[in-house]
Amino acid sequence: MEAVGHRPYNLVAELTYRCPLRCTYCSNPVSFRSVPDALDGEAWSGAFREAAALGVVHVGLTGGEPTLHPDLAEIVAGAAGAGLFVHLVTAGTTLDRDRLAALRERGLRSVQLSIQDARAAESDAVAGTRAFERKLAFARDAAALDLPLTLNVVLHRGNLDRTDELIELGRRLGAQRLELANVQYHGFALANRAALLPTAEQLERAAGAVARARTAGDGPEILFVLPDYYADRPKPCMGGWGRRILVMTPEGLVLPCHAAAEIPGLEFFRYPEHALRECWESAPGIAAFRGDDWMREPCRSCPERSRDLGGCRCQAFQLTGDPAATDPACALAPDHAIVLDARARAARPAEALYRGDSRAKRPPLSNPRRDS
Amino acid sequence: MNALSPQEFEARLREIGRERYHHRHPFNLRMHAGTLEPAEIRTWVANRYYYQTRIPIKDGLILAKAQDPAFRRDWIGRIHDHDGHRDGEGGLELWLALAEAVGLDRERVAGQRDVLPGVRRACDAYVDFVASHDLLESVASSLTELFAGDIMAVRIAAFERHYPWVATEGLRYFRARTRQAPADSAFGLAFVLAQARSRELQDRCVAALERKCEILWSLLDAVEAAHARPRLSPHALARLDDDEPMIVLSERAVKLGGSGREILQLCDGARTTLDVVAELAARHPEEPDLAEDVHHFVEEMTKLSVLVRET
């Protein structure tokens, strides 16, 4: 059961990168269109059985938009059959109530719905398509089917000032849980950072709204995640690299986090060419940053290293070009100035790129220090 | 902000009572509607006794804050009311008579053997509040007495009508309080209205009274929860037989220790939490803090949506 002390509990199964939305802060790879859905229902079911044997108890079916995978029903049944808690993360625009009911019959236990803003016009503007009303209908369907609902809203400069309204929306839709997570600046979001990063004053007001709602206590449980850029310490990204969460991409690549494949020079294994246990325990890319042997100063001797587990390797790479560098989100990091500089520029207006925009074709990360 | 006039301030205090006093708590509503089971009445009586024991201690703290002999002369009467002037007198004694009238063992109640952890927490929070706040706020927190006279009258009528198995002799505490509470609260109210002359002081009195209402409310929450029948949430996936037993929920998992697993297995929707405690006590007579652990565990698991409770 134990993977050399690194039992994964949660499997993040990215079924496909295809998505009907075009959010400006999407954290999936910028070149996502070229990635095929390599695993069919049978292959995913095999992966779930092997994951359960490794200790996984929960699977989040995600993407892209996971409901666009043609074998979704078989995939849900395969996960439930492996004894996993099956959770679906969706944009909510692709399933009607009958199809959702059929998935519930197959073993789906809960859903997470993404909403881009509290108002239709603003939400649709971020998504790059008309989706808001359809999302509300999905939330009502989930409630009617007694599927616990998490509402997920990615916060950024453009919607942070409507945190009150978002909480009210969560309450109205009967969400058990509301995730208000500030943008993580990976993938496409990093290219749009100048347009997305909020000001400190905005964050403070939003935190106030969250505190008031928690005191009132009659709405959903609220998870409020500050952007790394405004915390003085990094987050324990993914609960630690290769520690608790196992990510599988649409091509079957097994990763410690969904952005890890963007770090060059790291070798990960692909399922089903390798057994899942081998992908998790033996891939050099996962071994590279597991535990704390890889850490340098100031992390190596830092008493907080067991709390933040070294922060985010992808962020370290994307901002400094070196994945072993101290996460620049940390105030103790030699490269913390990069983050301070982005913070200082947060107040200036900037224009966002959409997926499919001709300007967005070139991966924006070829020079990681480009906009620092 | 300007201070409220005494009339406005009093109206504000009374509004808190209308909205937040425990006469609106579901447990009291059921008590007065006559639908409580004898076991629920008994749990309430045994637990409310702990609250009664805290009152003279709280009043002693208030006495120790007062500079004015006239204030102390009046306030000390409350301690006499509760403790009497000799053995066998006073409100605590009357409450023990109630305990006997509902079929409880007097010594067991007096020894506080069956006090629920949530009740203990609520009552101790009241004493802590008074210990850590000034005289004005402490007196303001006692103003729930303004609303106590009415509830006692309702309660006496409800007991006589719906719970004839409780000997009428047992209701003497309630009858005594219908006389004492109005007199006590008139004194307390006059003091608060006279002393809280700024808006800031008035707001602090309001907050103190609200806090006290919360404390009384949570006492009944704990009594109610003890008789609720917890069961595993239909949305939870139980993996109790794993090497590392856990409950899996949407986007989270809760790991269980060995005793957690045993408690959860007994939470079948048929047993009340008290039944679960009794069953475990029979299995593990050597465990001293078992009741405390079970109530705490059920409370935490309910907060985490692992358990749902039906009353």
Q: Are A86 and A107 in contact (CB under 8 A)?
A: yes
Domain tally, chain B? 2
Residues B162 and B191 in one domain: yes
Q: Which of B234, B250, B253 sits opposite A9 (nearest CB)?
A: B253
Q: Are A128 and A354 in contact (CB under 8 A)?
A: yes
Q: Which residues in A lie closer than 8 A to residue B249 (C-beta atoms)?
A: 85, 110, 148
Q: Does the CB of B2 have a partner CB in chain A at under 8 Å?
A: no
**For residue B294, which of B269, B265, B252, B254 has the smallest C-alpha distance?**
B265
Residues B14 and B141 in one domain: yes
What CATH number is given to the structural domain containing B82? Answer: 1.20.910.10
**Does the A7-372 domain belong in CATH 3.20.20.70?**
yes
Best probe of the A interface among B218, B240, B248, by most A CBs < 10 A, is: B248
Q: What is the pTM of this model?
A: 0.82
In sequence order, what are the residues at sequence separation of 6 or more whose Cβ sits closer than 8 angstroms to the Cβ of residue B288? none
Q: Pick from B227, B242, B258: which residue ends a domain?
A: B227
Residues B272 and B207 in one domain: no
Q: Pick from B204, B227, B250: which residue ends a domain?
A: B227
Across the range A102-127, mean pLDDT stands at 93
* Domain locations along chain A: 7-372
Residues B165 and B285 in one domain: no
Angstrom distance (rounded) from CA B148 to CA A276: 66
Angstrom distance (rounded) from CA A61 to CA A106: 14
Across the range A6-13, mean pLDDT stands at 95
Structure tokens at A160: 């942070």
Task: Express as a percent the part of chain A with pLDDT over 90.
Answer: 59
Judged against a pLDDT cut of 80, whether residue A24 lies above it is answered with no
Residues B250 and B120 in one domain: no
Mark yes or no for CB contact B251/A87 under 8 Å.
Answer: yes
Helix-strand-coil split of chain A, %, nearest 5: 40, 15, 45
Spans in chain B with pLDDT lower than 70: 311
Q: Pick from B178, B208, B227: which residue ends a domain?
A: B227
Q: Are A28 and A265 in contact (CB under 8 A)?
A: no
3-class DSSP assignment, residue B119:
helix
Classify the phi-psi angles of B151: left when phi > 0, otherwise alpha if psi is within -120 to 50, otherwise beta. alpha
Query: Residue A259 — very low, low, confident or very high, per pLDDT cuts 50/70/90?
Result: confident
Query: Residue A31 — very low, low, confident or very high, per pLDDT cuts 50/70/90?
Result: low
Across the range A177-203, mean pLDDT stands at 83
Best probe of the B interface among A12, A57, A61, A244, by most B CBs < 10 A, is: A57
Residues B152 and B191 in one domain: yes
Query: What interface predicted TM-score (ipTM) does this complex get?
Result: 0.84
Q: For residue B53, give its domain range.
A: 6-227
What CATH number is given to the structural domain containing B243? Answer: 1.10.10.1150
Residues B36 and B68 in one domain: yes
**Residue burial B228-238, b: 16+ Cβ < 10 Å; e: rest:** bbbbbbebbbb
Residues B265 and B204 in one domain: no
Give the H/E segment covering residue A54: helix A41-54
Mark yes or no for CB contact A57/B237 under 8 Å.
Answer: yes
User: Which pLDDT value is given to residue A18?
Assistant: 85
Residues B140 and B34 in one domain: yes
Q: Are A20 and A65 in contact (CB under 8 A)?
A: yes
Judged against a pLDDT cut of 90, whether residue A189 lies above it is answered with no
Residue B1 within any structural domain of the chain: no
Angstrom distance (rounded) from CA A146 to CA A141: 9
Give the H/E segment covering residue B91: helix B91-101
